[in-house]
Chains A and B, each alone.
Chain A
Amino acid sequence: MPIKTESFYLNVGPQHPSTHGVFRLRLSLDGEVVTDVEPIVGYLHRGIEKLAETRTYTQIIPLTDRLDYLASMTDNVAYCVAVEKLAGIKVPERAEYIRIIFSELMRISSHMMAVGFYLNDCGAFFTPVLYMWREREKIIDLFDMVCGQRLLYNYMRVGGVSQDLPDEFMPALKKFVDEMPRYIGEYNQLIKQNEIFLARSKGVGILPRETAINIGASGPVLRASGVKWDLRKMDPYSLYDRFDFDICTGEVGDCYDRYWVRMQEMTQSLRIIEQAMKQMPDKGPVCADVPQFFRPPAGEAYGYIEAPKGNLGFYIVSDGSIAPYRLHIFPPTLINITALRDMVIGWKVADLIIIFGSMDVVLGEIDR
């Protein structure tokens, strides 16, 4: 005779060690099996879109730092790309290369955090995170060198970047790029063939290709489901059409594929940085001539980039004044968790934590 338990509700979060921020999941459980899940967000809502309406275009840049705080640099870039589109500003070539180098460094750093904490959720408690942290520290040192900040950079400006690279930057970057493949090999050696890790992530939380497209997923989550879609290749912004790199895709769209896509993307990002270092002009302006208070013509623009976590966009409406009339942030991770319900139903609570971890969610961006 099958034993049935009465289904009951369980609140995971908002303060749970593996919720990656203040995130609450309302679970319906049948014994240990998840039968329904409702994500509840908004604990970190700061009203950035409303705040932006009372600030000038330059003053908004520090606000964008606080979106995805593990990848602030790309948030800066996305916002600046949108404003430049709106106002028709051309970015100098050297500044574009600096932006690309920092975007790719940020991608490596963000993916490291994603993979590290994902393994944490798998039960490899803090050892992998500390390995990842070791190299992330080097990236942060590079950022520190150019803008004096370690987490919220506020480095990009509309029309370029805030200051040129210091002399010691390029040698330090070269050292990092030369060392990094060895470390990636080390991670793979540690993680990739670990039997417990494979048992817990292969075939778990499958996101089928059609669902991934229909829910509008982007970034590594979309690519892990086998969709070859990367804005850097499909819709090259900035100077991405000058680089030679591959789009990494998974096969089935399970947790393992999401992990493996991120690991491969780190290598591809290194390839882009190496090429950018060779192509970058040695001298030249790093910011277009943009006054501190400027009035873009009335109209609207949607600027978007391929951020580490997916397609990040800013929809800006201008009424011709010094502040935007409306600013909307399109957050990739909020869209990605639309599929969470499909992915976790039927799995156990322990798997839910892993599946959620593999999505790489940052709540600063979801709640805004």
Chain B
Amino acid sequence: MTVALNGEETGKKVAEAIPGSVVSGDKNSLIVESKSLLQVAEYLKNTPGMEFDYLTVVTAVDYLDYFEVVYRLVSMKNNQSLMLKTRVFDRVNPTVASVTGLWRAAYYQEREIYDLLGIKFEGHPYLKRLLLWEGFEGYPLRRDYL
């Protein structure tokens, strides 16, 4: 059984290692500051006891006040998982660091989020629209797109 890690407890460990990075954590997920996302991701991937080597879903949700980018990390070695989230408050030019350097699983998924929600991933090697064509206006999965 894959154990879903408690976001609150994991958040304490993360905050100890990278001060000022954690926003909040509850039973199901851990929310971190978007500016320290890459640092946290690196910590989660390389720290013994965490070793999240396998990234599954990457997606984003538009809550109108902010965008929430969601990552589900899995550790094959320890058979545990963690929902990692980050929030972006800028609607005009939302930017998050890309995690493709750590997990290539994010390559197409970040392109898809850029395509459908308009969130830019800094450091992505090839950030182009995936499903829609170049020149398409707007981002269909935003809640204010009609």
A-to-B contact residues, CB < 8 Å: 41-42, 45, 47, 49-50, 211, 213-216, 218, 227, 229, 234-236, 300, 302, 304, 311, 313, 315, 317, 325-326, 328, 330, 334-335, 337-338, 367-368
Minimum Cβ distance to chain B for residue A40 (Å): 9
Interface status of B53 (Cβ within 8 A of chain A): yes
Of A216, A300, A315, which is within 8 A of B103 by CB?
Answer: A216
Interface status of B108 (Cβ within 8 A of chain A): yes
Cα A334 to Cα B109 with chains together (Å): 9
- Which single residue of chain B is at the shortest CB-CB distance from A218? B56
- Number of residues in B with C-beta < 8 Å to the partner? 29
Contact bitstring B1-31, A, C-beta under 8 A = 1, else 0:
1100000000000000000000000001000
Of the listed stretches B34-42, B89-97, B130-138, name the one at the interface; the rest are far from the partner chain.
Answer: B130-138
Cα A361 to Cα B57 with chains together (Å): 18
CB atoms of A214 and B61 under 8 A apart: no
Interface status of B70 (Cβ within 8 A of chain A): yes
Closest 7 CB pairs of A and B: A216-B105, A235-B2, A42-B131, A328-B59, A330-B57, A45-B131, A215-B104
- Which single residue of chain B is at the shortest CB-CB distance from A229? B76
Cα A226 to Cα B14 with chains together (Å): 32
CB atoms of B57 and A338 under 8 A apart: no
Which residue, B59, B107, B132, has most C-beta atoms of chain A within 10 A?
B59
Minimum Cβ distance to chain B for residue A226 (Å): 12
Interface status of B141 (Cβ within 8 A of chain A): yes
Interface status of B72 (Cβ within 8 A of chain A): yes
CB atoms of A214 and B53 under 8 A apart: yes
CB atoms of A317 and B107 under 8 A apart: no
Instruction: Provide the residues of chain A in CB contact with B132, threshold 8 Å.
Output: 42, 45
Interface status of B44 (Cβ within 8 A of chain A): no
Cα A214 to Cα B109 with chains together (Å): 14
- Which single residue of chain B is at the shortest CB-CB distance from A330? B57
- Which single residue of chain A is at the shortest CB-CB distance from B129? A42
- Which single residue of chain A is at the shortest CB-CB distance from B85? A300
CB atoms of A338 and B2 under 8 A apart: no
CB atoms of A311 and B76 under 8 A apart: no
CB atoms of A234 and B54 under 8 A apart: no
What are 23 A-to-B residue pairs whose CB atoms are below 8 Å? A41-B130, A42-B133, A45-B131, A50-B140, A213-B53, A214-B103, A216-B54, A216-B55, A216-B56, A216-B104, A234-B2, A234-B79, A235-B1, A235-B2, A302-B72, A311-B56, A315-B57, A315-B59, A326-B62, A330-B59, A335-B105, A335-B108, A338-B104
- Which single residue of chain B is at the shortest CB-CB distance from A38? B126
Cα A47 to Cα B79 with chains together (Å): 34
Query: Which secondary structure characterizes the binding site on chain A?
Result: mixed
Known interface pairs A215-B107, A235-B2, A300-B28; 14 further A-B residue pairs with C-beta atoms within 8 A, sorted by A's residue number:
A47-B140, A213-B53, A215-B104, A215-B105, A229-B76, A234-B2, A234-B79, A328-B57, A328-B61, A330-B57, A334-B109, A335-B105, A335-B109, A338-B105
Instruction: Provide the residues of chain B in CB contact with A300, threshold 8 Å.
Output: 28, 61
CB atoms of A326 and B61 under 8 A apart: yes
CB atoms of A214 and B130 under 8 A apart: no
Instruction: Provide the residues of chain B in CB contact with A42, threshold 8 Å.
Output: 130-133
B-to-A contact residues, CB < 8 Å: 1-2, 28, 53-57, 59, 61-62, 70, 72, 76, 79, 83, 103-105, 107-109, 116, 130-133, 140-141
Cα A234 to Cα B79 with chains together (Å): 8
Instruction: Provide the residues of chain B in CB contact with A218, threshold 8 Å.
Output: 56
Cα A367 to Cα B130 with chains together (Å): 9
Instruction: Provide the residues of chain B in CB contact with A213, threshold 8 Å.
Output: 53-54, 76
Cα A214 to Cα B45 with chains together (Å): 11
- Which single residue of chain A is at the shortest CB-CB distance from B53? A213
Minimum Cβ distance to chain B for residue A78 (Å): 12
Minimum Cβ distance to chain A for residue B72 (Å): 6
- Which single residue of chain A is at the shortest CB-CB distance from B100? A338
CB atoms of A317 and B57 under 8 A apart: no
Instruction: Provide the residues of chain B in CB contact with A211, threshold 8 Å.
Output: 104
Cα A234 to Cα B78 with chains together (Å): 11
Cα A45 to Cα B132 with chains together (Å): 8
Minimum Cβ distance to chain B for residue A316 (Å): 10
Cα A194 to Cα B53 with chains together (Å): 38
Cα A334 to Cα B130 with chains together (Å): 11
CB atoms of B76 and A367 under 8 A apart: no
- Which single residue of chain B is at the shortest CB-CB distance from A337? B108
Cα A328 to Cα B83 with chains together (Å): 15
CB atoms of B54 and A302 under 8 A apart: no
- Which single residue of chain B is at the shortest CB-CB distance from A228? B76
Instruction: Provide the residues of chain A in CB contact with B53, threshold 8 Å.
Output: 213-214
Instruction: Provide the residues of chain B in CB contact with A229, threshold 8 Å.
Output: 76
Minimum Cβ distance to chain B for residue A105 (Å): 26
